[in-house]
Amino acid sequence: MNAKFLQTPIAYLKGVGPNRAEILQSELGIHTYQDLLHLFPNRYIDKTQYYTINQLQRNSSEVQIIGKVVHLKTVEQARGSRLVATFMDQTGEMELVWFRGHKWIRESLKLNVPYVIFGRLQYFNGRFSMPHPEMELAQEHQQGIRVAMQPVYPSTEKLQKRGITNRLMNKLLQQLFSELPGAFAETLPAKMIEELRLTSKSRALFHIHFPKDQETLSKAQFRLKFEEFFYIQLQLLFKKQLRKQKIKGMPFEKVGEHFNRFYQEHLPFQLTGAQQRVIKEIRADLGSNAQMNRLLQGDVGSGKTIVALLAMLLAIDNGYQACLVAPTEILAVQHYNGLKELLGDMGVSIALLTGSVKQKDRKPLHEELQNGKLNILVGTHAVLEDKVRFHNLGLAIIDEQHRFGVAQRAKLWRKNQLPPHILVMTATPIPRTLAMSLYGDLDISVIDELPPGRKPIRTVHRYDANRLKVFRFLRDEIQKGRQVYIVYPLIQESEALDYKDLMDGYESVVREFPQPEYQVSIVHGQMKAEDKDYEMERFLKKETQIMVATTVIEVGVNVPNASVMIIESAERFGLSQLHQLRGRVGRGAEQSFCILMTGHKLSSEAKTRLETMVRTNDGFEIAEVDLKLRGPGDLMGTQQSGVLNLKIADVVRDRDILQTARFYAQRLLKEDPDLEANDNLPVRVAYSRLSRHKDIWTYIS
């Protein structure tokens, strides 16, 4: 097939023209024949069956009937008028109704001529009717491309107003296929097509728009979904392979004194099996000649920081510096304090660089960083500034990576002649399917067990009506010497409202827990950094028993003595946020609790979220449910949602196809890393186009 033909501007297709082309471009992004070809239907209507009027059931389903219009009249009503036609077949009669477009319908309708009508049934006063039916002369209906499964295409109000209906879209696709100068070139190797029993490329593209029946549709969908995933995986795996070949890392050849001494004398607890496994994986990467690019996933409190520190000590033992970058100042400060405490008297120099470090303190820090006296730098985005230069950065660790863009990560790479090893950490568990699609070019390590002695957090859902009981429970916990978080939702668009909710909540807590017996802290986003820190510090030192806060505490503060987390209006939070907040407690040896407070009115999605939280503490299970509820785009935020702008496949529903596609992409690259074999010529051609285009469907036609 001539690829040039598919790049023809859509205006040139018979039936489109400049005006329609303009609206197709603005509303659906259809600029070329190729874009129209890859506008895949949202759903299909089964038109395999024709009903007679005496077979109709009162169930408001969509049906197809053959008959004649025998009479037409206008009926006046309170507002405007309606056009009513009497429609008959050999078994009975019914009404067709139009509330608009009367003039055009009167002029175009032919009486006593066989029509095929299709639409949704209504039943009123003992009679069936069909408002605004699709109508086609029976003769034309028989001559068109026979479509038993009627495709329904994405549409907008603007398109409907301009007469670009589903029927027209169908006609345009029929026109496109009638103009095609030949078959579509195959994009997958013959062996793969045979093994997976895939339908051909040409058949798949034809049957996705004009399926004969359910079976041909399923085969077309499987083929196109597989291909979409296959090329995404191939791209990610190819990038990974290329990086390992081309980008030489700095080999950390020895496990030296710092690592061994810390491991033997300073380790605060026995490492879990999962931590030991992950450290082994990291050590193997650092010892090879390739640059490490690893994603470390671990639930809140699973002990990622110790793993990060051991990796940094390996860098120092081999004469390199290390840095740890966190998304917020609170988190950076916490990492810095935590690492400093762990290192104790080991003689490792460590410094903190955030936006609020004064200019006069920065100068000596910059000097020590450049002359190599400073071993570890912990900081926020401030570390990425151009004036921050290292003597020899060997390892860069990025925490909560989804908050950093690709461009920001690339800035760390450019701090050295040789790119440093990269370890990306996240406490937001990413479902396997999503990790495969978004981070398929990274190696993935998972810490999937909690340190010994940790008790699972007990989670309960309580309605506002039970508030007095909840307060009684809090008094008991405080009596035992524990501390409590009470968190209010923060939704940016309504800061004033959020602030009011928070202050009302704070006042009611202070009324229930009066001074001097109780002390209550408050922390929110509108406070100055130093005031926030002062309140956090008081809570940390156990000077206050209750911390009322917005979600600023979602990532950060580690208070082992806090054993209760109350989340107000829990229905307003997303699942991953609820899970992150719950992770603020359960850090000590005592039993911890998370109480989800809501009103009685809950949407079914909110109920699913709350039930999931009560049922499980497993971050990966929670992430899977979250993915099903929100879809991949929302889950990853704007920075990565573009990566998964899938045309036909769905990461959640089609996870099995994704796994199959990844397996075949891995196998192909293992057998033929440079795609040189003759059999793989179709893949090589498609892949070289892929390198030039962003959209996956621009190259696999």
Query: In what helix (H) or strand (E) does residue 171 lie, and over which residues does it extend?
Result: helix 166-179
Q: What is the pLDDT of residues 89-111, one digit of tens each?
A: 999 999 999 988 888 888 889 99
Q: Which of 435-439, 457-461, 672-676 has the lowest mean pLDDT?
A: 435-439
Please enumerate in sequence order all residues whose Cβ is within 8 A of that of 68, keeping only pairs 6 or more positions apart, or say none: 87, 88, 89, 111, 112, 113, 114, 115
For position 695, what pLDDT does the model report?
63
Q: Which residue segments constitute the domains of the chain, with CATH numbers given?
A: 48-146 (2.40.50.140), 201-246+656-698 (no CATH), 257-447 (3.40.50.300), 458-616 (3.40.50.300)
The percentage of residues in the chain with a pLDDT greater than 90, rounded to a whole number, is: 40
Scan for tokens 């200019």, then name that residue: 359
pLDDT in tens, 289-324: 888 888 898 877 788 889 999 999 999 999 999 999
The more confidently predicted of residues 178 and 653 is 178
Backbone torsion region of residue 186, taken as left when φ is above 0, otherwise alpha when ψ lies between -120 and 50, otherwise beta: beta
pLDDT of residue 343 exceeding 80, the answer is yes
Query: What is the per-residue pLDDT across 173-190, written as a single tens digit (0 to 9) for each?
Result: 999 999 988 888 899 999
User: Which bin fits 468, alpha (ψ -120 to 50), beta or left (φ > 0)?
Assistant: alpha
pTM attached to this predicted model:
0.64
Q: What are the backbone dihedrals phi and psi of residue 196, each rounded to the nearest 5 degrees, phi first?
A: -90, 0
- CB neighbourhood size of 185 (10 A): 15
What is the DSSP secondary-structure string of 364-419? HHHHHHHHT---EEEESGGGGSTT---S-EEEEEEESGGGS-HHHHHHHHTTSSSP
- Residue 203 has phi, psi (to 5 degrees) of -65, -45
In this prediction, residue 43 has a pLDDT band, given cuts at 50, 70 and 90, of confident
The pLDDT value given to residue 694: 61
- Predicted confidence (pLDDT) at residue 697 exceeds the cutoff of 90: no
Average pLDDT of the segment spanning 485-513: 77
Query: What pLDDT, on a 0 to 100 scale, did the predictor assign at position 13?
Result: 93
Instruction: Compute the distance between CA of residue 363 and CA of residue 365 in angstroms, rounded to an integer.
Output: 5
Q: Report residue 183 as tokens.
A: 């078959």
pLDDT: which is higher, 245 or 156 = 156
pLDDT tens track for 466-481 = 999 999 999 999 999 9
Over the chain, what is the mean pLDDT? 85
